[in-house]
Structure 1
């Protein structure tokens, strides 16, 4: 152990002794109750330490995330709202998409378009599309590179939505490059 670690340990031991001594002297008339409270706090402390140590396992169970399986399959867990959200890297920038089998193309929000290097103010929203909120203007663009797990595609056709949209969409044209798309056991599986 180096000097800094030794000093930190000594400081913690002295702090524990001071706090423990104060608790003991202030509660010496009710030692039974004091012992109960100390045991409760010790169990809380051990529980917190265990939760911190197991956090990756707990998070993986409570909030499963996208994973690349053997053979390059991509597993996307169903979100609590019932949708599938897929993480991709577009033009070198990580983006989160909602998988939308009702959309034809990749549809970017204006914010996401700006994040990947496309100026949404300079686009011409000449095409029209029907959305859940009615008709909106869309601008066609070409994305240099889209990568989902081990699958990378160059020159990907996409659209930028001219209206308000909360989440970028990953449509069927992009999903068709996978040989198989399965939904089961709470996950969307994409097979290259």
Structure 2
């Protein structure tokens, strides 16, 4: 009788282990709530991001990302970067690690008021900033140590006419 109970208990453990092995754990990145039976589908079917594109009239259309920001592929002095548009930033700004790669050698020391508080950084001149299909010559670039990603600031954005429509930012011609 004890041997039978032990065998039944062992079989139950194997069955429990087998069903436990079938359970999967998921991490949700998009903030949505998925029913359990749809998690496999969500994990295997990303939502394709709309690319920025040049329109027939020469304008440049940038889609709003899922996080609500606009991101623009470009370059600083020939080094490729992806800018986050920051209409609250006075200057186009790079983290130190990218500034080195973009050929920025030195900057005039100054203090900047940032979303994270006051920070000391440098400001450079005579840079070339590429924004999508447009080149902006003679741009100032701020360089900050604690910045995590490149910001496209108003010094460059003011050289364009900007419109917003249907989840897109439209840039019209550079000045």
Contact 1:106–1:157 (Cα < 8 Å) also in 2: yes
Give the whole-Å Cα distance in 2 for the aligned partners of 1:142 and 1:165: 19
Q: After TM superposition, which residue ranges in structure 1, 4 or more long, deviate above 3 angstroms?
A: none
- 2:156 counterpart of 1:174: yes
| Greater percentage in helix | 1
Write the distance in 2 (CA, Å) between the matches of 1:132 and 1:149: 26
Q: 1:123 to 1:177 in 2, by over 3 A?
A: closer
Report the Cα distance in structure 1 between the residues aligned to 2:95 and 2:169, rounded to whole angstroms.
23
User: Cα gap change, 1:79/1:143 in structure 2, threshold over 3 Å: closer, same or farther?
Assistant: farther
Could you tell me the TM-score, scaled by structure 1's length?
A: 0.62
Per-residue deviation, 1:123? 4.4
Q: 1:156/1:166 Cα in 2 relative to 1: closer, same or farther (>3 Å)?
A: same
Q: Which has the larger radius of gyration?
A: 1
Give the structure 2 partner of residue 148 of structure 1: 131
Q: Secondary structure at the match of 1:118?
A: coil
| RMSD between aligned residues | 1.9
* Aligned residue among 42, 47, 51 for 1:65: 51
Q: Which residues of structure 1 form unaligned runs of 5+? A: 1-57
Q: What is the TM-score with the length of structure 2 in the denominator?
A: 0.67
Count of aligned pairs between the two proteins? 129
